[in-house]
Amino acid sequence: MIIVMHRGATEPEIQHITKHLTSRGVNVERTTGKQQTILTVIGGSSGNDIASMAAMPGVQEVVRVSSPYRLSARTGHPEDTVITMTDGTSIGGKAPAIVIAGPCSVESEDQLRRTAECIRKAGVRFMRGGAFKPRTSPYAFQGLGFDGLELLKKVSEEFGLFIVTEVMEPAHVPSIAEFTDIVQIGSRNMQNYPLLRQIGNIRKPVMLKRGASATVEEWLMAAEYILSGGNDKVILCERGIRTFEPTTRFTTDISAVPVVKKLSHLPILVDPSHGTGHREYVGSLARAAIASGADGIMIEVHPDPDRALSDGAQSLTFEQFEELMGELVRVGDAVNRPILVEPYHTTAQKTDRPVAVKSV
């Protein structure tokens, strides 16, 4: 159930209710907004519980929650969750939309450095790159593993970039968390519950991709596993679902953006690269994602896509990516959602705070 406190509720009143509930073996999550405090009760509740809670001092309203996802639901957390990076960069809420860009797989130091330079000159602060790759075929390139993580760390520090990389196994979570700034849970692992529980034990931001056949409710339930473990830094990522349509790799569900915004307080990004599987469609879906209200997008970029070891068909060239960034800024202007772009500096001159750029 959700307990909404009066605007003038005192701290002793809030603490009294919290202690009363925890003494009965239920968990209580507190959300303190600018004007009100909301207590989300995780555990069974009866009609008598609701009636007794409603009569306590300081309580404005008690609502029974029937949704199976409670921590990720907007019902008990009306304000948007905002993820704050180490330098103050924000993801979600009213913050400018972010762009994450980079290769599907880390292949070499030269490939990674050239890509990092390209996206950094375009003003991007987040670089994606897979070191461990879950592939459909066991004979396909599986990534460089921890050697790839070392390269990501080295190049990201050189160019002042945040790293986004995937983890596949629960045992790897602590080690990968040491290398990356945002831990990615891929589509295939959205319902890998042991992995989700382990991710709940760390305090790094995590990007949870939607499974190819998952409903929005199943997706939010997967987020619930992470949130219930204590990690409240969850970012959702729509990356396309499997439908009857064969002309694209998957079908990008743009409608998931406003649906998630209504149901949940968590930030949501869109991955149009995996959502289409063809680079000629990526730009259109990226622009649509920003126009729909997404908190950011994730794009695959490669110095030579035709020779990429994975997902070359959906990767943009450097020239295509630079052109798209300009288009995204203009779309952001049109819908009053600026794109986060930081002017490029050398390592010695790099500023720590990004800026939201508007077209002129």
pLDDT in tens, 128-181: 998 887 766 776 666 788 899 999 999 999 999 999 999 999 999 999 999 999
pLDDT for 346: 53
Q: Where are the domains of the chain?
A: 2-66, 83-357
Structure confidence at residue 355 as a pLDDT band (50, 70, 90):
very low
Architecture of domain 2-66: 2-Layer Sandwich (3.30)
Q: Which of 5-9, 99-103, 173-177 has the lowest mean pLDDT?
A: 5-9
pLDDT for 273: 97
Phi/psi-derived region of residue 207, left when phi > 0, alpha when psi is between -120 and 50, beta in every other case: beta
* Rounded CA separation 79/34 (Å): 9
Is the model's pLDDT at 189 over the cut of 80?
yes
pLDDT for 357: 47
Whether the Cβ atoms of residue 250 and residue 223 lie closer than 8 Å to each other = no
* Residues whose CB is less than 8 angstroms from the CB of residue 104 and which lie 6 or more positions away in sequence, other chains included: 130, 133, 273, 300, 302, 308, 310, 311, 315
pLDDT for 285: 97
38-86 pLDDT per residue, tens: 888 876 555 567 778 888 999 998 877 667 788 899 987 889 999 999 9
Q: Which of 31-35, 75-79, 97-101 has the lowest mean pLDDT?
A: 31-35
Whether the Cβ atoms of residue 216 and residue 256 lie closer than 8 Å to each other = yes
* Alpha-carbon distances of 76 from 62, 73, 229, rounded to whole Å: 11, 6, 17
Architecture of domain 83-357: Alpha-Beta Barrel (3.20)
Mean pLDDT of the chain: 89
- % the chain with pLDDT above 70: 91
* Rounded CA separation 165/177 (Å): 9
Beta bridge partners of 207: 184, 235
Name the residue among 17, 122, 11 with its Cα closest to residue 62: 17
Give phi and psi for 93, each to the nearest 5: 65, -135
